[in-house]
Structure 1
Amino acid sequence: MSAKLIHTLPFLYAVVLSWRVADAVYSSASPRSYSSSPSTMTEWRSARATYYAASDPRDDVGGACGYGDLVKSGYGMATVGLSTALFERGQICGACFELRCVDDLRWCIPGTSIIVTVTNFCAPNYGLPSDGGGHCNPPNKHFVLPIEAFEKIAIWKAANMPIQYRRMKCRKEGGIRFRIDGSGYFYSVLISNVAGAGDVVAVKIKASRTGWLPMGRNWGQNWHVTADLKNQPLSFEVTTSDGVTVVSYNVAPKDWSLGQTFEGKQFES
């Protein structure tokens, strides 16, 4: 497969925002089980949802999942931040949910729903009670949407709305994207635009002079490895939470450089 360069961006160390998950470093995770496969749909469940304004700076670096500029990354405004009860310490990043407004005929837009991708975390506020402002406090199941997405299912005056949600299979344009950053022998790869289950649980990288090397989860969907990868084409093996694996060979050519993003194969959507 010939390498496909998507874009080149300057190296950015993401700023840890106050609403990001407290633990910034995660270990690799094994696939999780579902009550039903995300390749179809899970059952509708109850939760609540609020929104934030377009001028809110919280998505400037892509939030707790680290996707960077969400528009340039292809996610647009169809995104969501999850409360602790749903966020799974960042392992859920990249998963897709369908949301619909329920139980409030004053504010709901009848017959509508929206499919969103998890890109962020809504931190709890223990200074407020769970039923009095601490929307994202455990055990609340809460979704925080850009106002543009919220208004697809409800009138903005609704504020804190009861909703229903279900897990969906993700559909994405193009292949999985791999953005390579780092320094010296330390490399960080952002995995984005993942179809299928959407949430990545394991990544391996291979250069022409190495075997397959497991990568550790740094934070969100940023994965890291310490190795000599310079001047070698790079291949990636990506596994999602439903246990499906896709291998993209020679994604990055021999002359790749830091800050570049390459496109590989894609999961079935």
Structure 2
Amino acid sequence: KTLILIYPLFMNLFLICLSFIFLSAVRPIGADHGGWDTGHATFYGAMDGGETMGGACGYGNLFEQGYGLETAALSTALFNSGLSCGACFQILCFNDKQWCAPGYITITATNFCPPNYAKPNDNGGWCNPPLKHFDLSMPMFVRITKDYHAGIVPVLFRRVPCHKKGGIRFQMQGNQWTPFVIILNVGGAGDVREVWVKGGGGWSAMTRNWGQVWQTSEKLVGQTVSFSVTTSDGRTVQSLNVVPPNWQFGQTFEGSQF
């Protein structure tokens, strides 16, 4: 009887150890914070990535802004009403011997994968709540799978720091009455939660319009402009006098970086 009781306990401990060894083995190099979670991934568009341009974060042409094809549209559960725009994730195909390829990818969240309530969560409604799903560009999808015909694969994913070249970019948009600023190329946590702007007067808080498009009622035309950017981890970086007084709408200026 004692042996009968001990055997299941031993097997449970063995399976726990085996799981720990597996997760350690697949731990991506450079992932220095956050934990693994499970989800699924699909792709949209073709290999040239044309269909992935633009998107719900407001970044526009992803090639011009430095994001390229290393991007993904996030499901409702991950997109967080746009708060996750700019966040970076490592993703690897998991637990599918037929389709999974070795290695992992690192992507930036640039778009929203809308739910499709006309289809069940396990058959077409991949981005329905509460599913954690990544709709990748096709080139990213084929890097973690053996063939794009896989369609949908289970994945492990985790948040990682964003490593961006150069400083944070501020793209000036809108009009003289309601200036908009698109915050681009943010390193560190990547997802901007608070922006302050300083023109001719003191500092004032900007409001999120959508994605990473921020607006203000301050009159910035003809002013030297400074920005203070805070990300989800609470870190703040200031870019003082980054925009000269003769700036024009449509121009982009590069400031400091995390």
Residue by residue, what CA displacement relative to the aligned partner does 1:5-54 show, whole Å, maximum 9, x if unpaired? xxxxxxxxxxxxxxxxxxxxxxxxxxxxxxxxx98321111100000122
What is the distance in 1 between the residues matched to 2:165 and 2:201?
31
Instruction: Check if 1:257 corresponds to 2:243.
Output: no
Tell me what 2:168 maps to: 176
2:216 matches 1:225 = yes
Please name the residue that 2:191 is paired with: 199
- Is the contact made by 1:180 and 1:189 (CA closer than 8 Å) also made in structure 2? yes
In the alignment, is residue 213 of structure 1 matched against residue 204 of structure 2?
yes
Q: Give structure 2 stretches of 5+ with no counterpart.
A: 1-29
Can you list the C-alpha shifts for 1:120-168, whole angstroms capped at 9, x where unaligned?
0000000001111111111111100011011111121211100000000
Aligned length: 227
1:140 is matched by which residue type in structure 2? L
- Cα distance in structure 1, aligned partners of 2:203 and 2:155: 43
CA distance in 2, matches of 1:265, 1:156: 39
Conserved in 1, the CA contact under 8 Å of 2:49 and 2:138?
no
Superposition deviation, residue 76 in structure 1: 0.3
Unaligned ranges ≥5, structure 1: 1-37
Q: Secondary structure at the match of 2:80?
A: helix
Q: Is the 8 A contact 1:39 1:197 kept in 2?
A: no
Name the CA distance, whole Å, in 2 between partners of 1:243 and 1:86.
19
Structure 2: distance between partners of 1:254 and 1:39? 41
RMSD value, Cα: 1.5
Alpha-carbon distance between aligned partners in 2 of 1:177 and 1:56, rounded to the nearest angstrom: 23
For each residue in 1:74-109, what CA deviation from the matched residue of structure 2 results, as whole angstroms up to 9, or x when unmatched? Answer: 000000111111110000000000000011111111
**Matched letter for residue 71 of structure 2:** T
**2-structure distance, mates of 1:242, 1:225:** 24
The one-letter code matched in structure 2 to 1:194 is V
- Say which of 124, 127, 142 aligns to 1:133: 124
- 1:59 corresponds, among 52, 57, 61, to 52
- Give the letter aligned to residue 138 of structure 2: I
Structure 2 SS opposite 1:88? helix
Question: 3-state SS of the aligned residue for 1:172?
Answer: coil
Number of the residue aligned with 1:244? 235
1:164 paired to 2:160: no
Distance 2:68 2:50 in 1: 15
Structure possessing the higher radius of gyration over alpha carbons? 2
Q: 1:126 to 1:69 in 2, by over 3 A?
A: same
Residue 185 of structure 1: CA displacement? 1.8
Look up the equivalent residue of 2:52 and give its one-letter code: D
SS of the aligned residue for 1:151 comes to helix
Q: Among residues 57, 71, 77, which one is paired with 1:79 in the alignment?
A: 71
Return the TM-score normalized by structure 2: 0.85
Counterpart of 1:131, as a letter, is D
